[in-house]
Amino acid sequence: MVAKEMKICLIGTVASSTLNFRKTFIELLVQEGHEVYVFATDYSKKTSSAISALGAQLISYQINRGGLNPFADIKSTIQLKKKIKEINPDIVFSYFSKPVIFGTLAAKLAKVPRIVGMLEGLGYAFTPEPQHKKESLKKKLVRAVQIFLYKISFKYLDRIIFLNRDDPVDLLEKHRIKVKNVKILGGIGVDLEKFKPSPPSLDPIRFLFIGRLLAEKGIFEFLQAADIVKKRNPEVEFIVLGAIDKDNPSSLSQNDLDYYKRANIIIHPGHVNNVQEWIEKSSVFVLPSYREGVPCSTQEAMACGRAVITTDVPGCRDTIENGINGLSIPPFNPKELSNCFFYLINNQNKIKDFSLASLEKAKKYFDTRIQSKKLLQFINNEK
């Protein structure tokens, strides 16, 4: 696939994220004979061992992941530039917002021949709020700073990769950010050997939510819709996988979570490591998010052969064909979501039909091995 062996630096954030989302890609790079250097901010014995076992070399670095401290960012960029310079790579590939900004600037200072970035979604600052909620000053400030930094750094990228077609429009075109080249990857993909198809549960019917318990993930709409349905169909189960983020102002509160659990509206195991087992027990996967890149949780559910209910917003709409593999709804609308729940409860044959269609769509568009090969072509300028 690649003309010559290269040194490639992958610059992300936490090591666990690299293992979750870059594992197949690293394996492909090593298989192709490249020297792979994985930059992460929080290596532990477990993650170090796991990434080393893939054949990559580990590089620890610091980045100010949160907050707006320009002095800390400048210091981190200089330190990162030194580490990159010592490796003298052929390609630096950064992903996630801050690594793309400061990894790109560091790579330019280190005179790296080819610099590529990937945004797997635009994140909190670009996610819309419900009409009744006023956007905070902090959110506006974070968005303004990000746009400013993107304008500075993106001009040094040889290529910027997005997962969906909405993000470059909403970021680059709307804010007049100049770039040399843009590519759309689609989903990162899912390991089809790990997430295997199984028949959906129909007795009882179980609707499954997986994600951080944040407003922008649609957790409040899910809970409100579940409350509506349980009053008429108490036998139906609603399962929530994910944890409260006490430091995030948009998080579900512990009091609210406890209420829904005490009222037997939801089953909440919390954050789990055996996600595929919970998907296997479910009937329908639900993600009423306000905005995504292309959500991995939905891809995983589809690979297991699950019908999907999700919102018609950037990223989520890339996983759904309304009436084919699930149902698409507007965001911020618990009543419409409850109507979808009732429809599938009363039309269980549709759950089966949607499940089969989801599986076929996952095989066609969300195989991580195919997507990793496509990503390698993109960073190596083959397409």
Residue 117 in this model has a pLDDT that exceeds 60 = yes
Distance CA 11, CA 59 (A): 9
CB 61 within 8 A of CB 68: no
Same domain, 49 and 103: yes
CB 301 within 8 A of CB 280: no
Residue 204: cis peptide before it, omega within 30 degrees of 0: yes
Same domain, 237 and 100: no
Same domain, 229 and 346: yes
Q: Is residue 166 in a domain?
A: yes
| pLDDT tier at 247, thresholds 50, 70, 90 | confident
H/E element, 237? strand 237-241
- What is the domain range of residue 90? 7-189+367-379
Same domain, 185 and 210: no
Here the tokens at position 363 are 């095989």
Q: Is residue 95 in a domain?
A: yes
Q: Is residue 338 in a domain?
A: yes
Q: Is residue 302 in a domain?
A: yes
Q: Check which CATH number belongs to the domain holding 47 and give it.
A: 3.40.50.2000
Distance CA 25, CA 20 (A): 11
Same domain, 128 and 256: no
Does the pTM surpass 0.85? The reply is yes
Same domain, 122 and 252: no
Q: Is residue 199 in a domain?
A: no
- The rounded percent of the chain whose pLDDT value lies above 90 is 91
Pick from 233, 242, 241, 240: which is nearest to 204 by CA? 233
Rounded mean pLDDT, 166-193: 97
Distance CA 348, CA 205 (A): 9
The amino acid at 234: P
Same domain, 234 and 102: no
Same domain, 164 and 245: no
Strand partners, 184: 162
Strand partners, 94: 11, 117
pLDDT in tens, 127-179: 999 877 889 999 999 999 999 999 999 999 999 999 999 999 999 999 999 99
Q: Is residue 198 in a domain?
A: no
Q: Is residue 200 in a domain?
A: no
Residue 328 in this model has a pLDDT that exceeds 50 = yes
Same domain, 54 and 169: yes
Here the tokens at position 236 are 């139906």
Residue 59 in this model has a pLDDT that exceeds 50 = yes
Same domain, 176 and 284: no
Cβ neighbour number for residue 158 with a 10 Å cutoff: 18
Highest mean pLDDT among 102-111, 125-134, 374-383: 102-111
Distance CA 202, CA 228 (A): 20
- Would the CA dihedral through 383, 369, 320, 163 be positive or negative? negative
Q: Please give the residue that has the higher pLDDT: either 298 or 70.
A: 298
Distance CA 187, CA 295 (A): 8
DSSP string, 44-104: -HHHHHHHHHTTPEEEE-----SS--HHHHHHHHHHHHHHHHHH--SEEEEESHHIIIIIH
Residue 303 in this model has a pLDDT that exceeds 90 = yes
pLDDT in tens, 254-271: 999 999 999 999 999 999
| pLDDT tier at 1, thresholds 50, 70, 90 | very low
Same domain, 19 and 117: yes
The amino acid at 57: Q
* Total domains in the fold of the chain: 2
Residue 65 in this model has a pLDDT that exceeds 80 = no
Q: Is residue 252 in a domain?
A: yes
Same domain, 354 and 372: no
